[in-house]
Chains A and B, each alone.
Chain A
């Protein structure tokens, strides 16, 4: 039911517009005067949170698209360019990437709310189905968005998911070729994914309009599941729901800000900091966390086609919910059996998510099959059965009665607990590289934690180590000489940078004769690569390619295991990469342990996966002398060069943490103010 539409603006100019396009009246009746049940709890703020997140993603996405290049050879570099060179590019990228995760977290809470309170029941079936459509569009958008940075996970995730369509009988392979625009995932695929990724959010926005329209026709559901009957049951949307939503949004922003500023890579995969390589498959291809339950369902079925059908069915089954659950009582508050099974279902989903990130071996396979069965059984067997056999408790007579009866605010803490628990499980799942590999020892890093800073002296010593040792084989092509003078960096002056650059010979040209020539480096030049191309690099290194070191400390990780990864979320531990690099540099051993044979041309390293590394021990004591008198030991070299490389991978880290502190203080104050305002506004309504 729409609100009263007797709104008339007073100002003559506004009256003039209103007569021709009654938009003010529409906004007034939909979001100001609109009668909203007065017993809504905080689970109901997620609609507003989702609308905000859609806006945030579209805004940051359109802006990122101004700087991104959707070409297979240029995409990865263009994203790094955004992060390093575009003003606040690092912030935009973090907001958009973390925002996608937040968007899905909010949508899952929103859907579970609908499940628990029976918001899909008559007369809200179309509203619910529109929601399922929005969810499907979100999944498509998210999948294509993840491909765009063109990292290893982007490429291989795209390969695996597009390959799914080859399961379709007869036309499967033609469909896949059509999707790819070629004979494998490649540039045509990337280009079209970019186009569609830009388009779909606007399609989502259109369906959201329909979704809200359908909502306003039926009116909102409420925790009692009893429809509003009189004026005593409702309050006008503004200021009551508006302030409550504002408070909810503010709390959500605090949670969101934790990821943007302090844990930007917690929900991601280190492999995506490696540029896509069609010739090398990562050891563990894992989708983003919000797809993990469906990935687990897909892998549970041994037959390829059946697995694909099962995976899609797991989503489509949601659309049939209004007919699968025909119980007259809406809210699970008054359905004791349904309530218990609901929570079991939530646990099933979370466990499926965990399994989706594990290697499909042994007990994980069996568990996956059992849980897949439970998932479908909930919808197809349990809910229809319960609607027939369950005796519900009596519902309140009206919403007003429900408000007068006391109910606790544990819903808020449940939301928070669920969100944190879900995130932790995800973080743990992301870290699951199941090799029986010894984890490198944890070092102490000056840049760790919310107040971490780079040690300037360490970075300068690290640069010396890179120049004198590593640069013989390893490129650093994302760092320009000018970066050495940037804020938050090693702290060289412009004069020092110019002098350093001039020591290098850079290829330039063609000159007017059409020839390439060498010239001294300038601050704007990037560190030159030691080899002309990949083949030259391999030929000089026994067939192995020494990786570019610009991103190495973000492109490597290892499993932290339970319960470490829980504490990591709160302590902001994200130094797996630097610990690994130090481990490699100091982990060489003269001879392999008894019984282990190394392939030709390899060396034994304690922390390298598989232990056989093609790089000989690069560091020895006394190799590099430091002007500041620091010890000339391997341990010192390893620590310093890794500090330098961490800066190389994330030059804006200090700015990120500084802005994060300011944003957090602001948001905490804002949340506090909104809380008290909300209490004041609602004082007479409770």
Chain B
């Protein structure tokens, strides 16, 4: 039985991402200086689109004034950005419903709107209405300097 599982394991494991895919998914650095306030850009990391938003004060205030308990997926805005860099929102641009790419700066919450089934996210990338169950995922990233981040 142990031999059986041991024999089977390579056949299962080969389906997981191979070495070159993992290497291609290595962390990337993004320079934030060209992004003006109110603008956002889309970069690709590990095959996924990532929105980097340079939020305006209005957007930050709107995000912070929402009562957290009323959200479908409660999370504070502070928990979704880095300390001291509140104006930068970095989220994976994949709707948590069925995987479409939401459109930035659309919808009733000045956030994201997913055209596939109508999910709407706010300026912190949190789900506010529609069938999506969760907030837009924040990928692992850190600030290498004030104007540069490393994603991954």
Q: Using a CB–CB distance below 8 Å, which chain A residues touch chain B? A: 156, 159-160, 163-164, 177-186, 188, 192, 278-281, 283-285, 299, 302-304, 359-361
Contact = CB atoms under 8 A, between A and B. Distances in A.
A285 B116 contact: yes
Chain B contact-residue range equals 20 to 34
A186 B22 CA distance: 13
B17 A183 contact: yes
Given A179-B15, A186-B47, 10 more contacts: A156-B99, A156-B100, A160-B98, A160-B100, A181-B16, A181-B18, A183-B21, A183-B25, A278-B49, A360-B118
A192 B16 CA distance: 12
Q: Which of B16, B42, B97 has the most CB of A within 10 A?
A: B16
A231 B28 CA distance: 78
B98 A184 contact: no
Nearest to B46: A183
9 contacts: A160-B99, A163-B98, A164-B98, A181-B17, A183-B25, A185-B47, A279-B44, A279-B101, A299-B117
Contact of B118 (A188, A284, A361): A361
B115 to A, nearest CB: 6
B48 interface: yes
B107 interface: no
A160 B99 CA distance: 6
In the A-B complex, the 7 residue pairs with the closest CB atoms: A184-B47, A183-B46, A281-B100, A163-B99, A281-B101, A159-B99, A182-B21
A188 B116 contact: no
Nearest to A359: B117
B16 A177 contact: yes
Contacts, number: 70
A299 B133 CA distance: 13
A271 B48 CA distance: 21
Contact of A281 (B16, B42, B48, B115): B115
Contact of B47 (A278, A281, A284, A360): A278
Contacts of B48: 183-184
Contacts of A156: 99-100
B36 to A, nearest CB: 14
Contacts of A303: 133
A462 B44 CA distance: 39
B131 interface: yes
B21 A184 contact: no
Interface of B: 12, 15-18, 21, 25, 42, 44, 46-49, 97-101, 115-118, 131, 133
B17 A182 contact: yes
Given A183-B47, A360-B117, A178 B15 contact: yes
A164 B25 CA distance: 23
A279 B16 contact: no
Contact of B21 (A164, A181, A278, A285): A181
Contacts of B42: 279
B116 A281 contact: yes
Contacts of A281: 100-101, 115-116
B21 A304 contact: no
Contacts of A278: 44, 47, 49
B151 to A, nearest CB: 12
Nearest to B13: A178
Contacts of A182: 17, 21, 25, 46-47
B17 to A, nearest CB: 5
A367 to B, nearest CB: 16
Contacts of A285: 98, 100, 116
Nearest to B14: A181
A160 B21 CA distance: 21
A163 B117 CA distance: 15
Contacts of A177: 16-17
B15 A181 contact: yes
Nearest to B96: A304
A50 B117 CA distance: 36
A304 B73 CA distance: 14
